Amino acid sequence: MFTLPRAILFDWHATLVDTHEAGYHAVDDVLLELGELGLLDRLTSPGHSKTEEDAKLVMYVRENLQLHPKVKTDKKISRTDIFEILFDADEDAKHIAHEEFNKCYRNHFGEIRPFEDGIEDMLISLRNRGIKVGVLTNRNREFLEHEINVIHVEGWGHLFDTMVCGDDVQKRKPAPDLILKALDNLDMNPGPDCWYVGDSTTDTVAAKEAGVTSIFYNGAQWDADWLNKIFPCTNKHPHKPDAVVNHFSEFLQLVGLSFSQ
């Protein structure tokens, strides 16, 4: 049984909106510079990857300095998860990669669209129910403020009670800093009455580390076998979402709403 939410925080990219194409272009730009950045020798060592598929991604990047074409075609993995796979526990390497990504993303970002039809109506319905609504992103504020203002004629900025970005906190996801900052902005304490909705394993880890309810938005439509792989519940990877939803209509059923309300 879920505790009904007083606040719902949403990941931005690949949850509320689709910006995969620009993001993957920027990731490829970063990968081309791994040697210059001193990161090529810091890629995850063989035998240390969470899954066989992760190990193949690391090997391909090491040999080609770009993402495999299938990764970009499938659009099923976030930039943050890619860097988690490539650098494992090397927090400094991930920080360098994220900072370089922000520089590269400036050359590609701009076009943006809702990930599903009806998302704007969903956000309005939540606010009409008296639920506080926030949006989080590992990317810098300059990108979110631009994207949130161009996604609709009037933008979506007025639909959120708080917005927290990667450059607002000391550590990006999977650290809990973004979620804790958002709750502080809302004058709330972490607990099951705060839900965090995101599409990546790093979103789930951040939610669990923050002590809030984790809702995994399966926009990539992973099957059950793959979900069990990416959430193995091992000592090294213990975190698992409290619920998985494939569409926002399913998510709103958890809240007791529908798109028509």
For residue 147, give the CATH number of its domain.
Answer: 3.40.50.1000
Same domain flag for 182 and 248: yes
- Residue of 19 and 190 predicted with greater confidence: 190
The band of 259, judged by pLDDT with boundaries at 50, 70 and 90, is low
Total tally of structural domains belonging to the chain: 2
- Which residues are CB-contacts of 205 (< 8 A; sequence separation ≥ 6)? 173, 174, 239
Q: pLDDT digit string (tens) for 66-112?
A: 999 998 888 888 888 999 999 999 999 999 999 999 899 888 876 78
Domain of 94, in residue numbers: 20-105
> CA-to-CA distance for 219 and 44, rounded, in angstroms?
27
Same domain flag for 169 and 244: yes
176 assigned to some structural domain: yes
* 53-64: average pLDDT: 95
Q: pLDDT digit string (tens) for 149-170?
A: 888 778 899 999 999 999 999 9
Same domain flag for 72 and 117: no
Q: pLDDT digit string (tens) for 40-52?
A: 999 999 989 988 9
Answer whether residue 261 shows pLDDT above 60. Answer: no
Whether 56 and 41 have beta carbons less than 8 Å apart is answered as: no
260 assigned to some structural domain: no
Whether 87 and 101 have beta carbons less than 8 Å apart is answered as: no
- Residue of 153 and 252 predicted with greater confidence: 252
pLDDT score, position 220: 87
* 60-67: average pLDDT: 96
169 assigned to some structural domain: yes
- Of 105, 130, 159, the residue that ends a domain is 105
Strand partners, 149: none
Q: What is the mean pLDDT of the chain?
A: 91
Looking at the whole model, is its pTM more than 0.85?
no
> CA-to-CA distance for 37 and 97, rounded, in angstroms?
8
* 115-136: average pLDDT: 95
